[in-house]
Structure 1
Amino acid sequence: MASSVPPSLGALRPSPLVEQAADRLRAQITGGHWPVGTRLPGETTLAKELGVGRSTVREALRALAGAGLVRPRQGAGVFVIATVPDEDWPTRLRRAAVTEVYEVRMAVEVHAARLAAHRRTDEDVTALTAALAARRTAADADDATFVEADLALHQAVVAAAHNPLLASLFADFAPSLRTGLTELLALFPLREADPNTHDDTHAALVSAITEGDGEAAVEALTRELSETLALLGAGHPFGGRPE
């Protein structure tokens, strides 16, 4: 398929040139000027049209490849493979339903709890005990403070697993979890009758990890998260996808 440079490209202003070049080329692709299957003009042609160096064009094309829009073919050039960019992980999390995030959280955190029971150090036990005490203290505070203390305890559980990737995943989930749990408490009067709701399961979780009982840790955490997930998925607005 013959390639051509749309007349709307034009030279770029000095600034982050790679980002500008990538944005300009992305606009041509998502706007349909270069349909799927089209071979893009060569680096020299694009550089001339955009008023930048070939190295800038090369970096911009790498960015587009990372977004799933183009793919280089050895000896043939760079071809358009999609007109809608892939969403990165943070974007997917922001768009996901809270229930979806919670389901993935369960998979991550339950496994982390089992690992924590076998890998916890004395420092981890101290941190878990302190986090449980802080959660109990926060029972006298507002919902937002209580949710923050609750997440801090769960973060301490994941940290005790000593797996940086699990810790990073939990940190990614935290903003969505914070929003969902705060809204959950606003809709359900869970803390009116029991300001320190689910204290028994959290205490059991900390005890199981401290004692090195992985199965008990999994059982306690699964029970708590399953009950919360059931409420989150009960048909309330924040259980669905954000507008």
Structure 2
Amino acid sequence: MSLGPLRPSPLVEQATEHLREQIVGGAWPVGTKLPGETTLAASLGVGRSTVREALRALAGAGLVRARQGAGVFVIAAEPDEDWTTQLRRAAVTDVYEVRIGIEVEAARLAARRRTDEDLAGLTAALAGRRAAADAGDAAFVDADIALHAAVVATAHNPVLSALFTEFVPTLRRGLIDMLALLDLRSGDPNHGDDGHASLVDAVVRGDGDAAGRTLREELEQTLARLASL
């Protein structure tokens, strides 16, 4: 089977993509042993080292696996999706359910671990959300997310912060759509201010139970609205 010559550069990326296309397209079904490095290199018009790097990339994507002394075999017809890709394709309601678990625990931790600097940041974030009441839906959502991010940051757990950051693009799109479709801000431009003020107050007071409870109620109400769309 001839795969066709490649353009000069970047060779590894091109070789990886060509081989990926053959596997995903069914030219090499699951269980098939790939041609040797020398054969692949000749078909692609590259060196064996380029083929070797391409095969490593395919192995990292979960498509192939090398067997000692036997060769490289196809083990999947579709590449593994990384976390970011999965989130991008996920329904916003699915993401929101996970968000609730993460943020509620973050709020409890925030109430215990808050510093004076954290409290100043939370106060500023709440003020920013209120100021955004006069802005459009996108700006208001950005200010809302910034307040939630400040609560998560106050937990001082980098894993929680990293997870929340991954959720933000999907959350942002879902929340903007929700505000537009349900017209939630027409009668109340600062929609949800009381709940967010109560959340900040609970963290400031160091009441983790109240912080977690307040945030859960607010997020579950939003989840119900998203599910209704």
1:69 partner amino acid:
L
1:171 aligned onto 2:173:
no
* Sequence identity (%): 70
Measure how far apart 1:127 and its partner are.
0.5
Corresponding residue number in structure 2 for 1:35: 29
1:139 aligned onto 2:125:
no
Instruction: Compute the RMSD of aligned alpha carbons.
Output: 1.4
1:166 partner amino acid:
L
Runs of 4+ in 1 over 6 A off after TM superposition: none
Corresponding residue number in structure 1 for 2:107: 113
The more displaced of 23-32 and 85-94 is: 85-94
The more displaced of 18-27 and 72-81 is: 72-81
1:227 aligned onto 2:217:
no
Provide the rounded CA distance (Å) in 1 between the counterparts of 2:10 and 2:111.
48
Measure how far apart 1:113 and its partner are.
1.4
Q: Which runs of 5+ in 2 are unaligned?
A: none
Corresponding residue number in structure 1 for 2:145: 151
1:61 aligned onto 2:55:
yes
The more displaced of 15-24 and 193-202 is: 193-202
Provide the rounded CA distance (Å) in 2 between the counterparts of 1:86 and 1:43.
23
Provide the rounded CA distance (Å) in 2 between the counterparts of 1:129 and 1:144.
21
Provide the rounded CA distance (Å) in 2 between the counterparts of 1:221 and 1:159.
15
1:126 aligned onto 2:120:
yes
Provide the rounded CA distance (Å) in 2 between the counterparts of 1:130 and 1:196.
16
Provide the rounded CA distance (Å) in 2 between the counterparts of 1:166 and 1:180.
21
Provide the rounded CA distance (Å) in 2 between the counterparts of 1:30 and 1:203.
51
1:77 aligned onto 2:71:
yes
TM normalised by structure 1 equals 0.89
How is 1:185-204 mapped onto 2 (pairs within 5 angstroms)?
185-204=179-198
Provide the rounded CA distance (Å) in 1 between the counterparts of 2:100 and 2:20.
37
Q: Which runs of 5+ in 1 are unaligned?
A: 1-5, 237-243
Paired residue total: 229
Corresponding residue number in structure 2 for 1:3: none
Provide the rounded CA distance (Å) in 1 between the counterparts of 2:217 and 2:105.
14
The more displaced of 124-133 and 92-101 is: 92-101
- The secondary structure found in structure 2 opposite 1:191 is coil
Provide the rounded CA distance (Å) in 2 between the counterparts of 1:117 and 1:37.
53
Measure how far apart 1:19 and its partner are.
0.7
Q: Please, which of 86, 97, 101 is the counterpart of residue 103 of structure 1? A: 97
Measure how far apart 1:70 and its partner are.
0.9
TM normalised by structure 2 equals 0.95
Corresponding residue number in structure 2 for 1:206: 200
